[in-house]
Amino acid sequence: MSETGLQGAIVVLNLYDVADEINLGEVRQMIGGTTVAPAFKHPAPEYVRFERPPVIEPLPPVSLPTGERLDAALQYYDYGVVSVLLHFNFAGDWPTLQQLAARWISSKVFDELSRQIMRQKLEQLKASLVKPYETWLAEDYFVFHLHTIAECASGAALLQQRGNEISQIVRGESVQLADLERTEVLQGAMSYYPNDLTVVGWNAAFVFDTEAGAETTIRLLEYANSQLLQFRHYDEILTNELADVYDFLDEHRSGLLSGWRMRPAATRLRTMLLDVTELTERTHNALKFVGDMFSARLYKLSATKIGVPNYQTLVQEKLHAADELYDFVIEQFHQARAFALEFIVVLILMIELFFLFTGKRT
């Protein structure tokens, strides 16, 4: 069996959560109205529709220290995420692709390069950022796309004949995996036509498809990673806010005026709950699948593999905990107010009785 004849591309996705929101209208104006990079023909396939289509900005090609030259583009999402897309045309054999996957997946060079690009661009576009963050949460993902494999044209045959190589590429390993691990990786496989195959892992995916077909898959993988990034951000917000409220309650749980001090904490907690709920709904509803159940299933597989449902569950649990905590804080405040009102009534009654009895004596 021939070891040559692989042609395709490696797409490196580096995503950053940079702000609460990005004004896409302002971004379009600032970058001169260019919204689609030459390497990526459309912002989204026709049957995968964004509520607010992300803006794509082409950039000059970049080079790695090792000499590889990559096409570059930025993609701006309205919910505050920016994606750096690096596109490397690949031609070679399976060992070369495996070695490249192992080296690149474990490397920090793409994050360093992407952050350098981001700092320069966001300084120019800072007017379009709503509540920008000082530190950025980040996610990276690799897509190994082959559109030509000389030895095989069937997805099923490719999975059977090259399952070892594919599993190593998806895991970023240079040595053969154990049978159980290889089986686990290949369980993330999906095909629509006989001559395509997608294998999704938590930090990389292998795609055998045409360029047009792979574009859809890459968009879905990028969107799933942007969702993961957002839910990680919400989880961090809720974790910090709940810790602050618990500390506040520990400090003010005793004393006659402790209940009165609960109102500011309750107000801050309710504001945070509303903000996070609005942001999660906007993120969750950003992408719609119109009459394409395969894309919907592929997105569900991708989201599951990279951990979106896990973080979404964490966020929902912490939102529920925050809601219950808000009810408790409000109840404490109402009890303190009721006690204060009762105290005032008793005090007024005592004053009236005092004047009543002193009046009788005179």
pLDDT at res. 256 = 47
Backbone angles phi, psi at 30, to 5 degrees: -70, -30
Residues 154 and 32 in one domain: yes
For the residues 30-40, what does the mean pLDDT come to?
Answer: 51
Domain holding 98, by residue range, is: 6-211
In the predicted model, is pLDDT for residue 248 greater than 80?
A: no
In the predicted model, is pLDDT for residue 205 greater than 90?
A: yes
- For the four alpha carbons of 290, 292, 295 and 298, in that order, the dihedral sign comes to positive
Residues 276 and 332 in one domain: yes
Whether 22 is covered by a domain: the verdict is: yes
Residues 321 and 253 in one domain: yes
Closest of 61, 74, 204, 60 to residue 145, by C-alpha: 204
Residues 40 and 120 in one domain: yes
Residues 242 and 298 in one domain: yes
Whether 216 is covered by a domain: the verdict is: no
3-state secondary structure 230-271: HHHHHHHHHHHHHHHHHHHHHHCCCCCCCCCCHHHHHHHHHH
Model confidence at 322, in pLDDT bands (50, 70, 90)? Answer: confident
pLDDT at res. 43 = 46
Q: Which of 154-168, 219-233, 238-252 has the lowest mean pLDDT?
A: 238-252
pLDDT one-digit tens code per residue, 136-148: 999 999 999 999 9
For the residues 317-334, what does the mean pLDDT come to?
Answer: 70
In the predicted model, is pLDDT for residue 33 greater than 60?
A: no
Residues 229 and 207 in one domain: no
Residue-wise DSSP of 67-89: S-EEEEEEEE-TTSEEEEEEEEE
H-only helix segments in 125-210: 155-161, 163-171, 179-186
Residue with tokens 């964490």: 314
Whether 218 is covered by a domain: the verdict is: no
Question: What are 286's two structure tokens?
Answer: 């950003």
Rounded Cα distance, 341 and 338, in Å:
5
For the residues 79-106, what does the mean pLDDT come to?
Answer: 95
CA 5 to each of CA 147, 153, 318: distance values in angstroms, whole numbers, following the listed order: 11, 12, 51
CA 156 to each of CA 163, 167, 297: distance values in angstroms, whole numbers, following the listed order: 10, 15, 19
Residues 84 and 202 in one domain: yes
For the residues 197-205, what does the mean pLDDT come to?
Answer: 96
Residue with tokens 């005592």: 350
Domain end (from 182, 211, 240): 211
Residues 184 and 235 in one domain: no
Closest of 163, 195, 156 to residue 98, by C-alpha: 163
Asked if 55 and 115 touch (Cβ cutoff 8 Å), the reply is no
pLDDT at res. 84 = 96
Domain end (from 211, 240, 268): 211
Backbone angles phi, psi at 91, to 5 degrees: -145, 130
CA 19 to each of CA 13, 22, 216: distance values in angstroms, whole numbers, following the listed order: 19, 7, 26
pLDDT at res. 41 = 35
pLDDT at res. 42 = 41
- Residue 265, domain CATH: 1.20.58
In the predicted model, is pLDDT for residue 14 greater than 50?
A: yes
Residues 31 and 172 in one domain: yes
Residues 60 and 180 in one domain: yes
Question: What are 12's two structure tokens?
Answer: 């490196």
Whether 220 is covered by a domain: the verdict is: no
Whether 126 is covered by a domain: the verdict is: yes
pLDDT at res. 343 = 74
Whether 278 is covered by a domain: the verdict is: yes
Whether 92 is covered by a domain: the verdict is: yes
Model confidence at 355, in pLDDT bands (50, 70, 90)? Answer: confident
pTM of the predicted protein model? 0.80
Whether 340 is covered by a domain: the verdict is: yes
Residue 173, amino acid: E
Model confidence at 245, in pLDDT bands (50, 70, 90)? Answer: confident
Rounded Cα distance, 210 and 233, in Å:
35
Residues 24 and 162 in one domain: yes
Domain end (from 211, 245, 274): 211
Residues 170 and 232 in one domain: no
Helix (H, G, I), strand (E, B) or coil at 139: strand
- % of the chain residues with pLDDT over 90: 43
Q: Which of 41-50, 224-233, 286-295, 307-316 has the lowest mean pLDDT?
A: 41-50
pLDDT at res. 239 = 83
Domains in the chain, number: 2
